[in-house]
Amino acid sequence: MSRRCVHLIFVGLLIGHVLASETTAPIHVLHVTDVINPVSAEYITESLKAAIQQGAQAVIIQLDTPGGLDKSMRLIIKEILNSPLPVIVYVSPSGSRAASAGTFITLAAHVAAMAPGTNIGAAHPVSVGGGEMGKEMADKITNDAAAYIKSIAEQRGRNVEWAEKAVRESISASETEALQHKIIDLIAIDLHDLLKQVHGRQVTTTAGERTLHTEGVAVQHVEMSLRQRLLSLLADPNVAYMLLMLGAAGIFFEISTPGVVLPGVVGGISLVLGLYALQLLPVNYAGLALMALAIILFLAEIKVTSYGALTIGGIVSMIFGSLMLFDTPPSLPGLSLWVVVPTTLLVAGFFVFLVGAVIQTLSQQPYSGREGLVHKVGVALTPIDQKQGKVFVAGERWDANSAEPVATGDEVEIVSLQGMTLLVRKKAR
């Protein structure tokens, strides 16, 4: 056999091995079922990188989201558009949606699919916090979003006109309408049906033309790491708010009653976690400042006698600060009033109770030590008349003087203490 024949056989075997590897490479499936935020962006981007390193054939993002933050959405889309692996976005299961940011992500996929009973669209940008934007600013943001989604739709050969309307007019479409208007590529009942339908489909990635061999291949479900699940929990505004409140209460209790330790430890940990969670959420710094002011007013109540004025101010500041704390668009989960009202009342009640207890303790008459002897009642052990005598009070014998005659056995009341001598008077009957 000639050297040329050996070379051709070797090349043929190598090509066959590569093709066999491509057809048997697993499919990685990601599950995004919440708001698009920095945590979900990290989960998707890191999982895509891991899929490339592990030799996966393609990545499926099973999507159900009400939308999310623009910055996080753009990070995900940038990773999808520059991925050498085919990325399939599958809006599933039935009842799911790809709204707002989810619309952009679905259109950016190499293959876009939806399950029956799902919808896509309503991608009009809203002001952070749900407030009214000025017309000029609103036009700038809308035009930017429209240009971005048109660019994505053009690159993927999807319906550019519909994509622009989804931003400018907030239109939505069911899965059948989306397929009819060429917004998506197919409708799949479940993951198995999806893999069957995309088998043999050719897509263009940054690495060139890729043919999907998905029928019968292994499917690897990639879940969030423990760290990402924890961060996802912290990214809930309600959880972040409660951590901040618990942290403030714990630190306050430790400052007001030093030495208890446990409230200070729990409060410190909760406060750090709450502050970290603020990095994952759109925070209104005016609301945060009001929350900080409320804590300062509560702490000042311990040192300053304001007869409750500082506490009332702290409660008002806390309520308004809580309502203003997070700038979440109305389409996304925000801070619930069912969390704000009970938490504020509980924390305020805690502060009021603790401050009241401190004030009551400070205003009480001393009952021990030298100051505690004043107004106590004792018995004269010797006559006290123009000279010092002896009295028995609080289980001890004391030297005593009196401005009026006192006979042995008379009950006396302590008026004051002069050095180690008591000034007494006969107890009125």
Pairing mode, if any, of strands 119-121 and 172-174? antiparallel
For residues 50 and 46, what is the distance between their CA atoms, to the nearest angstrom?
A: 6
Contact 311, 352 (CB under 8 A): yes
pLDDT tens-place values along the chain, 429 residues long: 555 554 544 444 444 444 444 457 899 999 999 889 888 999 999 999 999 999 999 999 999 998 888 889 999 999 999 999 999 999 999 999 999 999 999 999 999 999 999 999 988 876 544 445 567 777 888 899 999 999 999 999 999 999 999 999 999 999 999 999 999 999 999 999 999 999 999 999 999 999 999 988 999 999 998 888 888 888 778 888 888 888 877 877 777 667 767 877 888 888 888 887 777 777 788 888 888 888 788 777 767 777 778 878 888 888 888 888 877 665 556 677 777 778 777 777 776 666 566 555 555 555 455 566 777 888 888 888 767 888 888 778 888 888 788 888 888 888 877 777 878 888 876
Residue 52 burial by Cβ neighbours in a 10 Å radius (0-12, 13-18, 19+): middle
Judge whether 3-224 and 371-426 match in fold. no
Contact 252, 273 (CB under 8 A): no
Pick the CATH number of 371-426 from 2.40.50.100, 2.40.240.10, 3.30.365.10, 2.40.50.140: 2.40.50.140
Q: Where are the domains of the chain?
A: 3-224, 236-363, 371-426
Q: Measured between alpha carbons, how far is residue 25 from residues 18, 19, 82, 90, 272 in Å?
A: 10, 10, 20, 20, 43
For residues 182 and 161, what is the distance between their CA atoms, to the nearest angstrom?
A: 11
Q: What are the residues whose beta carbons fall under 8 Å from the beta carbon of 200, sequence distance 6 or more?
A: 211, 212, 213
Pairing mode, if any, of strands 97-99 and 119-121? parallel
pTM score of the predicted model:
0.68
Q: Measured between alpha carbons, how far is residue 341 from residues 248, 253, 286, 348 in Å?
A: 16, 21, 19, 10
Query: Helices 337-363 and 237-256 sit at what angle, rounded to 10 degrees?
Result: 0
Domain 3-224, classified CATH 3.30.9.10, yes or no: no
Residue 409 burial by Cβ neighbours in a 10 Å radius (0-12, 13-18, 19+): exposed
